[in-house]
Amino acid sequence: MLSNNGKVALLSAFPFLFFAAAYLSLACTGDGFNFSAPLAFFAGDASDVQRLVFSQIALPRLAAAVIAGAGLALAGGTTQSLFANPLADPSIIGVSAGAALGAVAVLAAFPDIAPELGALCGGLAAAAAVYKLGETQAGASAVSTLLAGIAVNAFCAAMVGFFLYAANDSGLRGYIFWSLGSLERGGWREIGAAAALSAPAWIAILLCAPSLNLISAGRERAFHSGANVGLVRFVAMAAAAVATAAAVALCGIIGFLGLIVPHIARAVFGADNRFVLPASAFLGAAVLTLADVCARAFSPADPIPVGIITALLGCPFFLAILRKNTGGWE
């Protein structure tokens, strides 16, 4: 087991991992990899076409990967600590299902409005409903919140089916494209709005890390250690919901990232959220960036939606986690 000094030293390497992934993303072009192009752009030696491509396509794509990857990973690590469940991810609090409902409702009823706005409102509303329905006389508990999340997810899925049944061909195509997940949907205005929502949520999650360590050890132990369990749960859940809603609204549904990335971080740093959460943020941004590179490398002319890549990579990892935590396939 690493000492705290060793964990700090190891954590300092994670930003370099992300920067390596970011450079690879910027070097990935439609004709393969041009590793001199990013250097030329930042040195001011790029051509007008290269500057346009970097400023309007490559950099917004990278920024979207950072916002979605870091946000989903932080939200996943938070929900796993709150629910003391290694298989928990941001969808457990209804954000993804609510965002899907908001997006398809806008596409079906208000086709002139961007579905991202509906996704954001729907995700936040679903998370608020889960928290409110999960409240008991003793406050929101992990079990009651989990059950409320199942109910809200089922309701949102039913309503999505209804709107898809009633939607026209244009609405159906729009929802399918949105639901597959993509980093090329938002421009700088959308990225700025998502970043403005995400940054406070990330800070709140990181500030909750010491208290999440106590909650992970047990509610009663956290209470006797002086932690305000109710307040920490509310702030952490709200921050995870906002981070997830911003990511889903910007990029669509990207599966498994909020599940697998915190697991990798915990395998390296143990259960200490003071190290797991910041490591998850850097690793989530790096993993989503590399998944996007794979999508563009396999199909340069028409890149595969990045949500498909993360699902293909995440499914076997999820099965491995399931087998590890159940001791087999019985």
Side-chain-side CA neighbours of 90 within 13 Å: the count stands at 38
Per-residue pLDDT 10s for the chain (330 aa) are 678 888 889 999 999 999 999 999 999 876 778 888 898 888 888 888 888 989 998 999 999 999 999 999 999 999 988 888 777 888 888 888 898 898 888 877 777 777 778 888 999 999 899 888 887 655 566 778 888 888 999 999 999 998 888 877 877 887 888 788 888 877 898 899 899 999 999 999 999 999 898 887 666 666 666 677 788 888 998 999 999 999 988 898 898 899 899 989 998 998 899 999 999 999 999 999 999 999 888 877 778 889 899 988 888 887 887 777 655 433
User: What are the residues whose beta carbons fall under 8 Å from the beta carbon of 314, sequence distance 6 or more?
Assistant: 255, 256, 257, 259, 260
Q: How high is the pLDDT of residue 176?
A: 82
Q: How high is the pLDDT of residue 275?
A: 95
Quote the CA–CA distance of 14 and 27 in Å, as a whole number: 20
Residue 32 phi, psi dihedral angles, 5° rounding: 115, -140
* DSSP states along 203-226: HHHHHTHHHHHHHHT-HHHHHHTT
Q: How high is the pLDDT of residue 329?
A: 36
Q: How high is the pLDDT of residue 328?
A: 43
- Residue from 66, 104, 85, 215 nearest 146 by CA: 85
User: What are the residues whose beta carbons fall under 8 Å from the beta carbon of 142, sequence distance 6 or more?
Assistant: 82, 83, 84, 85
Quote the CA–CA distance of 173 and 274 in Å, as a whole number: 42
- Residue from 12, 16, 36, 15 nearest 26 by CA: 36
Report the amino acid identity of residue 305: P
Give residue 274's Cα distance to chain centre.
19
Q: How high is the pLDDT of residue 169?
A: 80
Q: How high is the pLDDT of residue 140?
A: 61
Q: How high is the pLDDT of residue 330?
A: 37
pTM of the predicted structure, to 2 decimals:
0.91
Indicate if the alpha-carbon torsion angle 46, 48, 50, 54 is positive or negative. Answer: positive
Quote the CA–CA distance of 319 and 297 in Å, as a whole number: 27
Spelled out in words, what is the top-level CATH class assigned to the domain 4-326? mainly alpha
